[in-house]
Structure 1
Amino acid sequence: MKTIKLLKILITIIFWGMIVLLGLGIICFILLLFFEDLFPPFLQGFNMLFNDRFPWQVWIGPIASVIAFVLFILAINYLRKCIAPIQEQRFYSEEVISNLKKSGRLFIIIALGTSFIRIVGVFMIKNLTNRLAYGGNLGGQIGVTNLMQTTDSSVWSYLGAILSAIGGTNFFLLIIGLFLLVFSSVFKEGQLLKEENDLTI
């Protein structure tokens, strides 16, 4: 039971710590947006990111990260709700089964969703940089020729960018999500067996 108590402490710290970080992030974003004079010079000019010079594709990655962060907090909260019934040795309760399933699904959604959005973002950013490099600044035939010459190398650069966009963290979250779904299924089977045993008694 000491392990469960330690797990409860760690999950509680992670949960409330992430809520504090989210709150501080929202406050800093609002302050940077409306009261940038309060910050050092290198942090000023934040409003420039919202003008026409910066396309909306630039915000795909940050927005995906914020959404994933909020979903991660929800997933940790569902795990937190499992601790009390497990401490009371109610392993096969509907509360544990349901919360494990919800948490597992959220981890899988985070892993797959952020990977997909980041991959789409990679292609969009690459296309934007190619347009700037070969269309606007270099001009004409030279730009098109250079683009055709670098097609083979750009395939590898795309592949590298995609792999870095997915990252090891998303694979880890996917494994955790699947693991929690397996645990939920095992507890569900245990619940059914327990109900059958109670009926036969």
Structure 2
Amino acid sequence: MKTIQILRTLINLLFYTLIAIFALGFAFGVILLFFPEILPSPYNAYTMLFSSFFTWKMYLMPSIAIINYVLLILAIFFLKKSVSSFLKSDFYSERVTKNLQKGGSLFIFIGVSTITIQFFSAIYIQNIANDMIGGQYNFLIRWSNILAAAIDLKSIIAIIIGLFFLLFSKIFENSRVLKQENDLTI
């Protein structure tokens, strides 16, 4: 039981820290967008993000990162709900399996969407670099650079964590069914 309490404490700490960081980032974005004159001088350079210099493609990666961050908070929330059921020794409830399944699916989505967006961003940046130097890259070198930029360890770990949560969800679901059958036979 002590392990579950430690896990619960760490998940709660992570959850509330993620929310606090998101709130600070959101407040900074609002200030940057609507009240840039109150920012200290080192932060005034960030106001150029909202100029017409950047195209919509430049905002795609940060937008997806923000969406993935919110989805990460939601996935941690589902895990938080599952751990609270574990503290009550309610391992076989349908709520636990659904929360683990939702959390796992979100982790997989975060990993796959990050790899996908990084892949297209790397292609976009490679095209810009190719246009700037006016030459042609070797095909193999170009695509190996794109793949190296797109596939990162944290995305792979997010997918693996999501698959583990889906596996645990299935295990708990099968255990719940076996427990119900066992309860009926006794």
- Tell me the TM-score range normalised by the shorter chain: over 0.9
What are the Cα deviations for residues 133-182 of structure 1, in whole angstroms up to 9, with x where unaligned?
15xxxxxxxx3xxx13xx21x64244234323321001111110000111
What are the Cα deviations for residues 49-92 of structure 1, in whole angstroms up to 9, with x where unaligned?
23332122111221111111000000000000011221121111
1:184 alignment partner, one of 159, 169, 181:
169
Distance 2:144 2:49 in 1: 28
CA contact 1:107–1:177 (8 Å) conserved in 2: yes
CA-atom RMSD in angstroms: 1.6
Distance 1:171 1:107 in 2: 10
Partner SS state of residue 91, structure 1: coil
Query: Structure 1 residues 161, 42: CA separation in 2 closer, same or farther (over 3 Å shift)?
Result: farther
Task: Name the counterpart of 2:61.
Answer: 61
Query: Structure 1 residues 117, 128: CA separation in 2 closer, same or farther (over 3 Å shift)?
Result: same
Q: Does 1:195 align with 2:180?
A: yes
- 1:25 alignment partner AA: G
Distance 1:45 1:187 in 2: 52
Q: Which has the larger radius of gyration?
A: 1
Matches within 5 A, 1:19-98: 19-98=19-98
Distance 1:38 1:75 in 2: 35
Partner SS state of residue 188, structure 1: helix
- CA shift at 1:32, angstroms? 1.5
Distance 2:75 2:45 in 1: 35
- CA shift at 1:36, angstroms? 2.0
Give TM-score scaled by structure 1 length.
Answer: 0.86
User: 5+ residue gaps in structure 2?
Assistant: none
Task: Name the counterpart of 1:13.
Answer: 13
CA contact 1:111–1:170 (8 Å) conserved in 2: yes
User: 5+ residue gaps in structure 1?
Assistant: 135-142
Query: Structure 1 residues 158, 47: CA separation in 2 closer, same or farther (over 3 Å shift)?
Result: farther
CA contact 1:57–1:125 (8 Å) conserved in 2: no
State, as a whole percentage, how many aligned pairs show the same letter. Answer: 37
Instruction: Report the number of matched residues.
Output: 186
CA contact 2:118–2:149 (8 Å) conserved in 1: no
- 1:27 alignment partner AA: A
- 1:168 alignment partner AA: L
